[in-house]
Structure 1
């Protein structure tokens, strides 16, 4: 049986999200990003991949809120993590608080011990709301950018290392490499299918912007990028180097290849996100990237008794 719908302010109605809603969701999220950052940065493929997270049941774990005129006003999903967005034209009316209550109740019903949400640090009202509800900071995430008005230089590779653009047959080895590299801080290992939905199977995935490194015929590094021509950027989704080949300059080499590829495609910048658990911030700063903005990952413990249902 579906969970009860949230008690929304007058004039709003909610229903679960379907795949047909992706364009409307993208418009909603893009409006939120433009209001906060001056430009949109999320592509529709990322939103579609969220709906296919293992264990997420759209009929139970997602909501899309419309106003009286049928326009999207807010959205939420929860599946261990949660995302809540309220259109700028509908803020200050209690929609965010109602969806947060719904997400926590749904997570409790699903047996989650905690719920995690990432909020831009400049979104002061959202940060204040989470803190008031008992959320505590977990890690800091940074969005970094490398501007490419001119073609960047690319260093010579270390002895025995070659770099080329990603090819379709590289995907299984890239999946193993990324999951091995991220195991130290990622809470669970993702299946190939889940990983691919968020990377190589996304419509925005750009093999030509995604350098991979080999040593002795073995894949030892991968920098997997999306091409976002609507905002004039390439975006590195994942960067990983095999543990036995670190501290050889391979990550720096792949980054410079990615920057050059972005320039040659006419993009004005190459961007990526990292967070404090990875320990990679200094690497990105050393290759000339700069921090554009930061977000905080908040977590709330749900093992304490929640509101009566």
Structure 2
């Protein structure tokens, strides 16, 4: 017996129009433009400060979020302005063009701390969910569908807001860090492989390897070249490395970011390992240890105090245990909440 699912259009029930929040909330609403990046970043930072989060948004990151060629800013973004024209609320929905197993739409938003408690957050969640349903329907992909958001462990009230709109927690992530002023793990020699500095000529080969490495990870989908080129605002090539086999095929990689805007609030400097992967046939041979050991040494050589990364607590490769064994400790947490369609 073959399992079947209803047509995508039926499941997502996309509205013909996405209604704006009610006028009585005290804000005027319009789509965002790339020119709003600095003002949106300032709003995000105000929210992060009020929520006591250990990181800060940056203008380059916000600009990059607004720039992907597949985005329709006129329909995918919403900015709420007060009488002085200052952004007090922000929400957006985004798609993932490369999805092949589950078609996804991601939503995010924030409300200025001084404007909370008025129903604006609830209105943003309703708007973003409606737009996400439109994006899913427009994908034309007859696949299982998912609306996704991520909530920091320090903001449980935000999770409650999304859960009231039908979202449910489905995955948990742990932020980990390791001090670099204590002995670093040895970098093992792996027979048949070598770790080399990042080379832009290997960039697409790393993308292809990443898609293969994460094919067996829950929630992961292939990245197109356009998707792969996004999320690079904080990319640190000097802290990134690639593992090649004897035929110069990419068999592992460690991609790092440099988030200097986070250092003052965190109270320390750090290098952040954005992506770490080893092809399945190379797992169990300590290649991940060799990559992480190399990365730690690069961070330390530049005077960083900590190495940081995030991990899915149910990662099938046993990554959490590996990181703990290498001296990483839990620092914070986040949750993925979804509506499955």
* TM norm structure 2: 0.80
CA distance in 2, matches of 1:141, 1:34: 22
CA distance, structure 1, for counterparts of residue 306 and residue 282 of structure 2: 28
Q: Are 1:129 and 2:161 matched, yes or no? A: yes
From 115, 118, 130, the equivalent of 2:147 is 115
Residue matched to 2:59 = 44
Q: What is the distance in 1 between the residues matched to 2:284 and 2:69?
A: 34
Q: Deviations over 1:214-265 (max 9, x none)?
A: 2212221110011123323221111111111111111111112111211111
Q: Give distance in 2, aligned partners of 1:131 and 1:289.
A: 31
TM-superposed deviation, 1:82: 0.4
1:173-218 per-residue CA deviation (whole Å, 9 max, x = no partner) reads 11111111112234531111211222xxx24211111122122122
Paired residue for 1:222?
253
Range that drifts further, 8-17 or 284-293: 8-17
Pick from 66, 78, 88: which aligns with 1:63?
78
Which structure 2 residues correspond to residues 6-21 of structure 1 after superposition, within 5 A? 6-7=21-22, 9-21=24-36
| Post-superposition offset of 1:30 | 2.4
| Distance in 2 between residues matched to 1:146 and 1:9, nearest whole Å | 48
Task: Answer yes or no: is the 8 Å Cα contact 1:9–1:94 preserved in 2.
Answer: no
SS at match of 2:258: strand
CA deviation vs aligned residue, 1:148-187 (integer Å, no higher than 9, x gap) = 2357343232223221221111101111111111122345
For residue 183 of structure 1, give the secondary structure of its aligned residue in structure 2: helix
What do you get for the CA RMSD once the two structures are aligned?
A: 2.2
**Structure 1 residues 270 and 88: CA distance shift in structure 2, 3 A:** farther
> Once structures 1 and 2 are overlaid, which stretch shifts more, 179-188 or 60-69?
179-188
Gaps of 5+ in 2: 1-15, 95-104, 138-144, 264-268
Measure, in 2, the Cα distance between the counterparts of 1:9 and 1:146: 48
Distance between the aligned counterparts of 1:110 and 1:238, measured in 2? 27
The answer as to whether partners of 1:8 and 1:98 remain within 8 angstroms in 2 is: no
The answer to whether the 8 Å contact 2:211/2:221 transfers is: no
> Is the alpha carbon distance of 1:67 and 1:148 closer, same or farther for their aligned partners in structure 2, counting shifts above 3 Å?
farther
Please list, as runs of the form range in 1=range in 2, the aligned pairs for 1:1-309 lying within 5 A after superposition: 3-7=18-22, 9-53=24-68, 55-79=70-94, 80-112=105-137, 113-150=145-182, 152-184=184-216, 185-198=218-231, 202-216=232-246, 217-230=248-261, 231=263, 232-279=269-316, 280-301=319-340
Residue 88 of structure 1: how far off its partner (Å): 2.2
Asked if 2 retains the 8 angstrom alpha-carbon contact of 1:84 and 1:100, the reply is: yes
Q: Partner of 1:307 in structure 2?
A: none
For residue 92 of structure 1, give the secondary structure of its aligned residue in structure 2. coil
Aligned residues: 299
User: Which blocks of at least 5 consecutive residues in structure 1 are unaligned?
Assistant: 304-309
Distance apart, 1:77 and its partner CA: 0.8
Deviation at 1:9? Answer: 4.4
